[in-house]
Amino acid sequence: MADNVQTGDPVANDMLFEWLLRRGDTALVLGHRVSEWCGHSPVLEEDIALANIALDLIGQARLWLSLAGEVEGKGRGENELAYLRDAWDFRNVLLTEQPNGDFGKTLMRQFLIDAYQVPLMEALKTSRDNRIAAIAAKTAKEVAYHLDRSADLVIRLGDGTAESHRRMQEALDALWSYTGEMFASDAVDAAMAEAGLAPDPAGLKLLWQETVNAVLDEATLTKPDSDFAHLGGVNGRHSEHLGHLLAEMQFLQRAYPGATW
């Protein structure tokens, strides 16, 4: 346990807290979005697969948010952080809160994030904070399967019928400007990287591009020729979509505080 980061070193607690919220909220918001498909997927097998993925993501969110609450040290646990914060306190990347759209758009969003989560978790396995390394070791196996599945389906649908190809290209075009945020480093990322706790996200971009280029190529999809990126999610500036998502996700705890079953 000697490597655990304790108060005062080597990264300020509030920085670490911010960084953990980014991990937890990204998993939580994406998990909730994917769970919205439950009972609505095009076929039974996909319905179960998506529900599995949503549950994996919510499980990951629990681990990150529990640790965030512990680091914050103000008595907030995973539940308080998930259900009792407002939109401006959420630190997920904007890509995760984008509406599901059709099945193709959901899959494209999943693929673009999976291709980022895989190298991130791989790098986090060697974090100097062994609590982070432990969560990453568990998460890495889950996201590896998510990527395997989403990449496969993006290829099949991209290189499928004329209609499936059109829908996948539209999804890619619509979501592309939300991918840049994953690699936009700020002071929190720099401090984490400096302390050997997490990789600089900018450094993951090459690995992400390798995966994305190969899959889009095989899927016969065209990568949009633009570097424009919507930013702000990880700093609490969200699109209007997040508020609606939270209204549904948090309703029960807001209306019946402390309710359990």
| Contact residues for other proteins, defined by CB under 8 A | 43-45, 48-49, 52, 145, 148-149, 152, 156
For other proteins, which is the closer residue by CB, 48 or 84?
48
For other proteins, which is the closer residue by CB, 148 or 248?
148
Minimum distance, C-beta of residue 48 to other proteins, in the bound complex (Å): 5
For other proteins, which is the closer residue by CB, 42 or 73?
42
Q: Which two tokens stand for residue 128?
A: 């100097």
Sort 258 into a burial class: Cβ within 10 Å, 0-12 / 13-18 / 19+: exposed
Minimum distance, C-beta of residue 151 to other proteins, in the bound complex (Å): 11
DSSP state at residue 43:
S
Minimum distance, C-beta of residue 147 to other proteins, in the bound complex (Å): 12
For other proteins, which is the closer residue by CB, 86 or 148?
148
Minimum distance, C-beta of residue 1 to other proteins, in the bound complex (Å): 29
Q: Which two tokens stand for residue 136?
A: 């990453």
3-state secondary structure 148-203: HHHHHHHHHHHCCCHHHHHHHHHHHHHHHHHCHHHHCCCHHHHHHHHCCCCCCHHH
For other proteins, which is the closer residue by CB, 60 or 66?
60
Neighbours of 189 (CB within 10 A): 22
Minimum distance, C-beta of residue 79 to other proteins, in the bound complex (Å): 24
For other proteins, which is the closer residue by CB, 1 or 43?
43
For other proteins, which is the closer residue by CB, 52 or 177?
52
Helix pair angle (162-175, 103-124), 10° resolution: 50
d(CA 90, CA 233) in angstroms, rounded, equals: 8
Residue holding tokens 């633009």? 226
DSSP state at residue 9:
S
Minimum distance, C-beta of residue 149 to other proteins, in the bound complex (Å): 6
Minimum distance, C-beta of residue 153 to other proteins, in the bound complex (Å): 9
> Within 13 A of 12's CA, how many CA atoms are on the CB side?
8
Q: Which two tokens stand for residue 58?
A: 């919510």
d(CA 52, CA 49) in angstroms, rounded, equals: 5
